[in-house]
Amino acid sequence: MSKPATQSSDGAGTSDLDLDVRFHAIDDAEPFYRYGLGGYHPVAIGDRLGSRYHILHKLGHGSYSTVWLARDQTLQRLVAVKVCTADASPRESEILSLLKNLSEVDDDGDGGALGRGMIPTLLNTFRIDGPHGAHTCLVTDVGRCSVHEAKRRGSYAPLMLPVARAIAAQLILTVAYLHDLHLGNVLLRLPQEFHLWSDEELLVRCGEPELEPVQTFDDKPIPPGVPLVATLPVWFPMERINKLPLSDAHVVLADFGESYRPSQESKFECCTPVHCRPPENRFEPTKPKSFPSDIWTLACAVWATLAQRSVFEMFWSTEDNVTWMQVQALGKLPDEWWEKWDARSKDFTEEGQPIRADDSPVYTFDYQFEDAMQEGRRRYKMETMDSAEKEALLAKLRPMLAYKPEQRCNVKEVLGSEWMTRYAMPDYEGMRARDELQVRRAPPAK
């Protein structure tokens, strides 16, 4: 699906309704020019959607939706209501319904059965007709925040190792479900006790929704169908990311809007941030995306969970910068790609060796492991990885990051790798065992 048009780099833009009206961008709020035909549906705190969902707060937004925290007044529980743009494809609800109907029992060794716990349950779907068209609304469980957002708010402090391992294990278990994986689409589960809050308690603990007036350039009147205020997303109270306990490391995947069924359709576009996209996406754009592409993005997501920054990310991630990082870490590209990369001679010899003008580091895997995974934990006086675990981790990641998709390892090899079985799964199972103990200790319901 192509991205909506007419957005400028500062997030300001023109409304499809009236091309003369331009909106000032508001941090953490959706772009208001998308409140036009085919775009977002205007939703406000206090609205009742689908005749039973009372809107309490905003959870976030994406290119194709705004997402709201609501009280289901029929079941008296908190839910997330994703109100899709009128031009969004119906793919996400189809995929979630399909996943919901999958048998719970068949596990052919690709992690499918265990990974199903991380797939959101589609609780309901309904449709809203509004000034900008017809909008599909998806009702799912509420997540606490994305792992990316938790890291960002915690100044990218590292996660405790058992927590990072348990999250990484869950990501690996979910790869059976094709998905453009990145930490912005991985939500921490909302702790059980938060579900017991009344609406009043929720507002006391999280604060009232923050509203900011929408402003247009030259003070032009706000067109009908565009909200007068921007609602900023809620922040559920949580420990700083480096203090997050193992019991809060459950994750659930969000955004199945870009999922696809490779047996039935081809996909060429990759919707992950540029630094987690596999190199074939850049160098072989006419070939359809294949399962090995997900293995590459999975490796990037596992690294980003364990480390303080993503493995191929630079402050300003352009395609060239990302390829530069990949060649620093993984060596020369395959010949036919190397030839295509025009910027290669700027910083590399024809053999793929980095040309170092000063004593700046070469971002090899080893360097990055020390710098992004170990150093921060030392600084925060946290447990670091021992050399046996480092060996096992890098031995798992390298074949996942083979340049050529056909040379990458497959899911079963990732699941059976020493790092997964000896280091990540025990922490994941430890987290689950604690949960079960807690359930058994909980006083019986009155």
Ligand X SMILES: Nc1ncnc2c1ncn2[C@@H]1O[C@H](COP(=O)(O)OP(=O)(O)OP(=O)(O)O)[C@@H](O)[C@H]1O
Residue ranges for the known binding site for ATP are: 82
| Nearest CB to ligand X, comparing residues 67 and 401 | 67
Shortest Å distance, C-beta 419 to ligand X = 28
- Please report how the helices 387-400 and 291-306 are oriented relative to each other, as an axis angle in degrees rounded to 10: 150
Closest of 220, 17, 25 to residue 133, by C-alpha? 17
- Please report how the helices 161-174 and 291-306 are oriented relative to each other, as an axis angle in degrees rounded to 10: 170
| Nearest CB to ligand X, comparing residues 304 and 330 | 304
**Of 21, 59, 128, 431, which one interacts with ligand X (CB under 6 A)?**
59
| Nearest CB to ligand X, comparing residues 184 and 225 | 184
Contact 295, 276 (CB under 8 A): no
Helices (H), 241-318: 279-283, 291-306
Which residues, numbered 221-240, are part of the site for ligand X (CB under 6 A)? none
Number of helices and strands in the chain (H, E) = 16, 13
**Of 50, 154, 184, 331, which one interacts with ligand X (CB under 6 A)?**
184
Q: Could you tell me how many residues of this chain bind ligand X (CB under 6 A)? A: 20
Shortest Å distance, C-beta 185 to ligand X = 6
Contact 61, 149 (CB under 8 A): no
Per CB under 6 A, the segment of 141-149, 309-317, 321-329, 431-439 that binds ligand X is 141-149
Polymer length of the chain: 446
Tokens (6 digits) for 296: 């590459």
Shortest Å distance, C-beta 400 to ligand X = 23
Closest of 29, 120, 129 to residue 79, by C-alpha? 120
**Of 16, 30, 248, 255, which one interacts with ligand X (CB under 6 A)?**
255
Residue labelled with tokens 């969970």: 305
Q: Does 254 bind ligand X (CB under 6 A)?
A: yes
Q: Does 143 bind ligand X (CB under 6 A)?
A: yes
**Of 15, 136, 146, 305, which one interacts with ligand X (CB under 6 A)?**
146
**Of 136, 140, 170, 216, which one interacts with ligand X (CB under 6 A)?**
140
Per CB under 6 A, the segment of 63-71, 310-318, 405-413, 431-439 that binds ligand X is 63-71
Closest of 265, 295, 260 to residue 280, by C-alpha? 295
**Of 15, 65, 281, 293, which one interacts with ligand X (CB under 6 A)?**
65
Nearest 5 degrees, angle CA 142-CA 295-CA 113?
55
Shortest Å distance, C-beta 155 to ligand X = 19
Which residues, numbered 257-276, are part of the site for ligand X (CB under 6 A)? 257
| Nearest CB to ligand X, comparing residues 161 and 301 | 301
Q: What are phi and psi of 363, to 5 degrees?
A: -85, 60
**How many whole angstroms separate alpha carbon 420 and alpha carbon 168?**
9
Q: Does 67 bind ligand X (CB under 6 A)?
A: yes
**Of 86, 119, 142, 186, which one interacts with ligand X (CB under 6 A)?**
142
**Of 61, 250, 289, 377, which one interacts with ligand X (CB under 6 A)?**
61
Shortest Å distance, C-beta 170 to ligand X = 16
| Nearest CB to ligand X, comparing residues 65 and 281 | 65
**How many whole angstroms separate alpha carbon 417 and alpha carbon 396?**
6
Q: Does 81 bind ligand X (CB under 6 A)?
A: no
Shortest Å distance, C-beta 5 to ligand X = 15
Nearest 5 degrees, angle CA 302-CA 152-CA 24?
125
Contact 177, 115 (CB under 8 A): yes
Q: Does 136 bind ligand X (CB under 6 A)?
A: no
Dihedral angle of Cα 64, 68, 74, 75, to the nearest 10 degrees? 100
| Nearest CB to ligand X, comparing residues 120 and 405 | 120
Helices (H), 18-146: 91-101, 112-115
Residue nearest to ligand X (CB): 62
Q: Does 31 bind ligand X (CB under 6 A)?
A: no
Shortest Å distance, C-beta 144 to ligand X = 7
Contact 139, 79 (CB under 8 A): yes
Q: What is the layout of strands, in order, in the sheet containing 251-253? A: 143-146, 186-189, 251-253
Contact 31, 23 (CB under 8 A): yes
Q: Does 186 bind ligand X (CB under 6 A)?
A: no
**Of 60, 112, 158, 405, which one interacts with ligand X (CB under 6 A)?**
60
Interacting residues toward ligand X by CB under 6 A: 59-65, 67, 80, 82, 140, 142-143, 146, 184-185, 187, 254-255, 257
